[in-house]
Structure 1
Amino acid sequence: MKTAEEKRASAAYIVKHGRIRPSHAVRNDAALEAAMVTVIAESGWDDLSLNKVSKAAGLTNGAVHARFADKGALGAHIWERQLRAPLIETLDTVITAGLAADASSPAIAAQTLAQFAAAMDAFIRPTVKVRAALDLAMGSRFDPQQRAAIFDPMAAWLRDRCQPPSVTPDPARAAQATAIGIWALGLVVFSNRPWVDAMDPAPAIARIHDALAHPAAAQPLPETKADYLRAAPFDTGDPRVDMILLSALESIGTVGYQRTHVALTTQAAGVSESFAFTRYPTKLDLFIAVTEAGYEQAYEDIVAFRESVAAGQGAGAAEAVTWREYLSPDVSGRRTVGIEGDRLSWYNTRMRDIAFAADTAVLDGLLAALPEATRPEMTGHLHLDFASGHGLPIIGELLPDSWQLPFDVVTTPHTASDPLPA
């Protein structure tokens, strides 16, 4: 049975050409769309080309170029035809289920938890289309036409879903909806971690459900700033290397990884190309150096910042302030670097090895003192905590005003039930 979009496309073809679209052309369209999804899911949107799609579809380059003027047209087409609905519908389902969390009776709590857990599982183990859709949406930000066709409508939908414009503003409910989005999208990013199949996420999801069912009253939060998000993170001992890394950080944070050029980066750093290329022969080498310099340190910085705020305000406020800082407008560049690193680690084995090694080291360190029998459950709790950290940058770009929401309505009850030792 044809979808509504397919019916509209068929009707438009008949109006334009006065006949039904030939069956072989319809089959080729389907093959191309399937190939687009596969290429994006396996190699990423940045690495997609019309020639790669034609090869994956088993068609000639001419067949693809006849349908799409350029990569941007292809992206807009596959977003509307195959990817937008799976991502938006899955997000809508999990937000609806999360906002319906209810613990007014054991039976109702069990029912709403089951619905929420099923919705969250779609992000713990996302479909190929959901993964491809998220990569395309975040990768489309750097081209004005692609952004207008993909990212901006996605952001507008999510804004209206979390903060409905037709009702009286409810910041607490908006914070809950946005928090659900943070966890959900972060879970997609972390869905390829090596421990996913061995963990037990059910208790962690139940903990989030309970926090949503028992929101705290919003409180004034301290204005404490996370200085580490705004400071230059490099101290290699060689000022020239530091300048190259800082220039790369700024470029990737502004135009993304694909559009960053080593030559322009070194020029902006005031360093000779020969000096830079001797140390970083490729753009990937440069991004890996940027990542290695800050990935593990980021874990330490987050813990230190949360502990400093928690000492005077409590764990719930500390978590809310940490979220606010990651969502702040003035750290958009740092968020973008994190998003680009996450995107690349899905498709590049060298970047993946760095991320997996750092994540696994932190996980193993936290689990080391715990009884063996509790590790699947505790891994689930840590996995959800990690996911929130990787969902925050995505939400920060999609919902740039979300930093103003009172996230302590969620983080206060959530941290109060933290099963992990301090």
Structure 2
Amino acid sequence: MTSVEVVERRRPPSSLVRNDARIMGAVVAVLADAGWAGVTVASVARAAGLSPRPVQDRFPDRWAMAVGAWQQQVGPALEGALLELLESAGLEDDRLPRDRPAGPVLQLRAALESALDAAGLRHLIVGQLPEDLDDPLLEMNLALESALDAAGRADLMSLRAAGPSADWLANALGAFLRPGAELRAAAELLVVSAFNDDLAETVGSEVAHRVAAWCHPTGEHPEAAVSRAYLISIALGLLLSRTRQGAADLDLRDEARHLLDAFKNQSKPAVLPATRAEHLDDFLGFDTGDASLDALLRGTMEEVGRVGYEGATTAAIGRASGRSEGLVFARYPSKVELFVDATRRQHARNWRANEVFHQGIAAVHGPGIAEAVVIREFQRPDLRGYRAISLEQVRMALHDERLREVQWGELELLVAQALAEDPNWAAAGTPAHLHFSVAIGLGVTVLPILAPEAWLLPYDVVTVPLDEG
């Protein structure tokens, strides 16, 4: 029985249904706070206030818990945040389905809304209540949390009422830069879905079909699809780069204005250079001068790309390297030290190779065209393995200080060198502008998980006006 079948089998009533809701809430909390590595039957049981037995009876492994969490909480939360994002920029498409199935506790919902209406607060929670939960107590709790959250951000409703604007867009992007538990959990599950077919199938069927429709390259209005794809990529990149120093304090309004201007003033699609990013074809090419070490580093990344960091054992790394497990511990005190070193060496090579590739195209065709080509290359279907490894490195850096230093240290060094060569280097700009550049670089590698055909979009219709603006 697959993880999807385990989750989708008929649920028993009463206390077991309530346990399901508690377990799913606990899975989300553990994912948000400890990451995928923290999700075990024992940790989820503790967070849910249950013994391990009912958790394991209902969800026999962590992948089944991940599938359930995505279906019940994480996927709907991500979809809702993305829809808010598109609406804030005037990019929603009324022709695409937006309805969600009603939940089984409509009477409770009506009573709650009536009480809030009588208190003059109902307007604050319109559109905020979840509609597909099975536990009335959990639904009431989440509804009250939504009401309190909305009351603390009462201006959001006025932003919505006023229509698309830089302020509303900045607010919607801020939900990804300063995410709640469900979006933090979404970041974890999006990345690790590369390592489990059941979770990948669930992500694809629950959210990706809608994102793929928003960003489809052969639709009636491909220019709008480009804007959606670019904006969603920025949001997903903000979600993954949220631990970069100073990121949480950024004011996003100026960047939101630039985006809206570019979306309104798109250029005509150009025939993009067919230049191939050949350095991505051999992104695991280590050259330390030590053949055994090169093989070990490459084998580490290949195994991580196959099963994820947590699934990669030192024995499997040894086999993937064509060496023994003993070589791992002869060279490194632990698996994490090996992974940190492999990541450091790979970043030092790839950050610079990416910049050289971009500069070479920009020198001939301009920065806007160069960025469009880079996006196309990073989203190529044949680079799924590259994206899986890169995103796993980013995900791990959310939770490990050493990897975070590697992840962002190389970037900061590259920025410093570029500014030393050209003090007016446009990519640096303001701190928010630089961070948006970082976010789009990460986000375009996430988008193919949700919209595999987005690599065919004419991104230059947005990147050129952004560069010229």
Per mean C-alpha deviation after superposition, the further-off stretch among 180-189 and 121-130 is 121-130
Normalized against structure 1, the TM-score is what?
0.84
**Shift of residue 152, structure 1, vs aligned partner:** 4.6
Q: Which runs of 4+ in 1 moved over 4 A?
A: 25-30, 362-371
Q: Deviations over 1:230-258 (max 9, x none)?
A: 12431111011111212222222233223
Counterparts of 1:149 and 1:200, CA distance in 2: 35
Q: State how far apart, in whole Å, the 1-side matches of 2:182 and 2:216 are.
A: 26
Aligned to 2:46: 55
Q: 2:342 aligns with which of 290, 301, 308?
A: 290
Q: Distance in 1 between matches of 2:402 and 2:328?
A: 20
Given candidates 252, 255, 272, the residue that maps to 2:304 is: 252
* Distance in structure 2 (CA, Å) of the matches to 1:144 and 1:215: 38
Matched AA of 2:324: S
Provide the residue aligned with 1:200 in structure 2: 251
Give the unaligned 5+ runs of structure 1.
1-8, 102-108, 418-422
Q: 1:397 to 1:26 in 2, by over 3 A?
A: closer
Which residue is equivalent to 1:4?
Answer: none
d(CA) in 2 for partners of 1:196, 1:367: 20
Give me the CA root mean square deviation: 3.0
Residue correspondences, number: 390
Shift of 1:341: 0.6
Q: Distance in 2 between matches of 1:93 and 1:133?
A: 16
Q: Deviations over 1:283-318 (max 9, x none)?
A: 322221221002233332222111100111111111
User: SS at 1:194's partner residue?
Assistant: coil
Find the partner of 1:268 among 302, 320, 333. 320
Check 1:172–1:164 CA distance in 2 against 1; reply closer, same or farther (3 A cut): closer
Q: Secondary structure at the match of 2:43?
A: helix
Q: What is the letter of the counterpart of residue 256 of structure 1?
A: G
Does residue 280 of structure 2 align to residue 229 of structure 1?
A: yes
Answer whether contact 1:138 1:151 (CA < 8 A) is retained.
Answer: no
Alpha carbons 1:97, 1:116 under 8 Å: kept:
yes
Give ranges in structure 2 of 5+ residues lacking alignment.
Answer: 1-7, 93-161
Equivalent residue in structure 2 for 1:41, among 32, 36, 43: 32
- 2:260 is matched with 209
Find the aligned partners of 2:164 and 2:224 in 1 and give their Cα distance. 21
- Measure, in 2, the Cα distance between the counterparts of 1:391 and 1:353: 20
Identity %: 30
Residue 206 of structure 2 aligns to which amino acid in structure 1?
P
Q: 2:386 aligns with which of 327, 334, 358?
A: 334
Deviations 1:336-393 (A, max 9, x none): 111001111112233223224334444556678879xxx9971100000000111111
> Within the alignment, does 1:84 sit opposite 2:137 as a pair?
no
**SS where residue 393 of structure 1 aligns?**
helix
Q: Displacement of 1:29 after TM fit?
A: 4.5
**Alignment partner, residue 159 of structure 1:** 212
3-state SS of paired residue (2:272):
coil
Alpha-carbon displacement from aligned partner over 1:311-339 (angstroms, at most 9, x marks no partner): 11111111100111101122221111110
Q: Is the 8 A contact 2:88 2:169 kept in 1?
A: yes
Change (3 A) 1:85 1:195: same
Match of 2:197 among 144, 148, 168: 144
TM-score, normalised via structure 2 length: 0.76
Q: 1:413–1:257: structure 2 CA closer, same or farther, 3 Å change rule? A: same
What are the Cα deviations for residues 153-187 of structure 1, in whole angstroms up to 9, with x where unaligned? 3322210222299xx53322222211111111000
Paired with 2:320 and 2:22, the residues of 1 have a C-alpha distance of 44
Matched, 1:307 2:359: yes
Q: Retained in 2: the 8 A contact 1:233–1:293?
A: no
Matched, 1:173 2:224: yes
Structure with greater helix percent: 1
Q: Residue by residue, what CA displacement relative to the aligned partner does 1:16-74 show, whole Å, maximum 9, x if unpaired?
A: 66xxx25xx66655443332211101111243111111112232112322332332332
Counterparts of 1:385 and 1:110 in 2: how far apart (Å)? 26
Q: Any conservation in 2 of the 1:327–1:402 contact (CA below 8 Å)? A: yes
1:111 to partner: Cα distance: 5.0
Q: 1:98·1:177 contact (CA, 8 Å) conserved in 2? A: no
* C-alpha separation in 2, matches of 1:92 and 1:29: 27
Give the Cα–Cα distance (whole angstroms) in 1 for the partners of residues 21 and 84 of structure 2.
27
Give 1:90's aligned amino acid: A
User: Match for 1:67 among 53, 58, 71?
Assistant: 58
